[in-house]
């Protein structure tokens, strides 16, 4: 769940840009995409729409969001209160989502581009999987949505809508630690293609809460004008800004072709996360242990933070900023 979206910040939904081709890239290296949902694929936050319409209301929700930002309460604790405030059957709540959500105007074309190039596209979110699945089914169609894996929290929702209870993926203050989910994916996936090259991991997001996952990626896309971009600029972290998924598609096409021509991306060091690029550049299974043995030394100079949403003790008279 993103705490700042384009609509929340006063930004207008991006205009549709010129269509880009969805043809095959024809490159050898496998690409894998992970994307945030709220504020990234959709301009608004699914939870915020539901809470404002059928739960605690916008004023209380904003107060609860501030408790997360200040560290007074954990994301998981506050989220349980927000979801628990809902009292609406799922179908009725979904009507508010259909009316209140705007999808990125170029997402459908980008998803088709991924399908044409055999690029796995995974949603990774702190929201509730049943909600996100229904939203995707409605906005892009069930057939297209069936090709998208959603990594999110499950939920127990009573038939009369009097109880909405998150079923958390992880037993920690985040409830769903996106960095753990991507790490789990890496462990379970076949990370090498037939010619021995290692896939390029791409992450797309909008908020600072996306950075724990983004640190495991090779290339980070941040929605322009929102908190993730601000953080990257402030801390001089490598990223590529985007207004719509058409921008992402164009950049991925450029990166993939340059990667093909310049020995697995050696000519593009400025856009890569240095820690993730360490393992990506290994060209065979035999070389992976060598890079793995370098991890402690690499960690000392690695600039990407380990976590961005930790519970902090609040001292009396002291204002704690996120």
- Output 85 or 180, whichever has higher pLDDT: 85
In which band, very low, low, confident or very high, does the pLDDT at 312 lie, cut at 50, 70 and 90?
Answer: very low
Give the CA distances from residue 134 to residues 41, 97, 104, 139, in Å, rounded to whole numbers and listed in that order.
14, 10, 17, 9
| Section 86-96 average pLDDT | 97
Q: Is 243 an annotated catalytic residue?
A: no
The residue from 38, 45, 218, 247 that is catalytic is 38
Contacts of residue 286, defined as CB under 8 A and 6 or more positions apart, other chains included, come to none
Summarize pLDDT for 285-300 with one digit per residue, the tens: 433 332 232 233 332 2
Specify the pLDDT at position 178: 87
Summarize pLDDT for 16-34 with one digit per residue, the tens: 444 445 455 766 778 899 9
Contacts of residue 187, defined as CB under 8 A and 6 or more positions apart, other chains included, come to none
Specify the pLDDT at position 294: 29
Terminal alpha carbon distance of the chain: 16
Specify the pLDDT at position 226: 93
- 68-102 CB burial, b ≥16 within 10 A, e <16: beebbbbbbebbbbbbebbebebeebbebbeebbe
Provide DSSP, 19-74.
---------SS-EEEEE--BTTTBSS-HHHHHHHHHSS-HHHHHHHHHHHHHTSS-
In which band, very low, low, confident or very high, does the pLDDT at 301 lie, cut at 50, 70 and 90?
Answer: very low
Residue 118 pLDDT > 70:
yes
Share of the chain above pLDDT 90, in %: 52
| Section 69-74 average pLDDT | 91
Rounded CA-CA distance 112/91 in Å is 28
Specify the pLDDT at position 189: 62
Q: CA 304, 306, 311, 313: dihedral to nearest 10 degrees?
A: -70
Summarize pLDDT for 163-200 with one digit per residue, the tens: 999 999 988 888 888 888 888 877 666 566 566 667 88
Give the CA distances from residue 222 to residues 50, 219, 231, in Å, rounded to whole numbers and listed in that order.
25, 10, 10
Specify the pLDDT at position 19: 44
The residue from 36, 65, 177, 210 that is catalytic is 36
Quote the pTM value. 0.76
Q: Is 210 an annotated catalytic residue?
A: no
Residue 320 pLDDT > 70:
no
Contacts of residue 270, defined as CB under 8 A and 6 or more positions apart, other chains included, come to 238
- 183-214 CB burial, b ≥16 within 10 A, e <16: eebeeeeebbeeeebbbbbbbbbbbbbbbbbb
């Amino acid at each position: 769940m993103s705490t700042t979206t384009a609509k929340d910040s006063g930004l207008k939904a991006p205009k549709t840009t010129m269509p880009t081709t969805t043809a095959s890239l024809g490159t050898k290296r496998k690409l894998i995409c992970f994307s945030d949902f709220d504020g990234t694929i959709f301009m608004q936050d699914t939870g915020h729409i539901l809470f404002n319409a059928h739960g605690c209301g916008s004023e209380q929700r904003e107060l609860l969001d501030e408790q997360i930002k200040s560290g007074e309460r954990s994301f998981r604790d506050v989220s349980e209160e927000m979801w628990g405030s809902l009292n609406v059957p799922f179908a009725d709540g979904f009507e508010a989502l259909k009316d209140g959500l705007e999808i990125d105007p170029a997402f459908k074309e980008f998803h088709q581009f991924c399908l044409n190039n055999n690029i796995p596209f995974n949603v990774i979110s702190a929201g509730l999987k049943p909600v996100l699945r229904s939203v995707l089914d409605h906005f892009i169609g069930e057939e297209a949505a069936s090709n998208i894996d959603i990594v999110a929290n499950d939920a127990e929702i009573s038939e009369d809508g009097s109880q909405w209870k998150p079923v958390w993926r992880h037993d920690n203050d985040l409830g769903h630690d996106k960095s753990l989910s991507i790490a789990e994916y890496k462990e379970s996936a076949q990370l090498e293609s037939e010619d021995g090259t290692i896939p390029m991991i791409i992450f797309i997001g909008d908020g600072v809460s996306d950075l724990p996952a983004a640190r495991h990626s090779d290339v980070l896309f941040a929605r322009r004008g929102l908190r993730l971009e601000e953080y990257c600029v402030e801390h001089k972290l490598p990223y590529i800004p985007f207004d719509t998924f058409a921008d992402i598609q164009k950049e991925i096409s450029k990166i993939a072709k340059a990667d093909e021509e310049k020995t697995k991306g050696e000519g593009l060091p400025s856009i890569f996360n240095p820690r993730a690029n360490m393992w990506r550049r290994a060209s065979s299974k035999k070389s992976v242990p060598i890079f793995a043995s370098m991890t402690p030394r690499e960690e000392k100079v690695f600039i990407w933070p380990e976590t961005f949403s930790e519970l902090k003790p609040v001292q009396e008279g002291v204002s704690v900023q996120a």
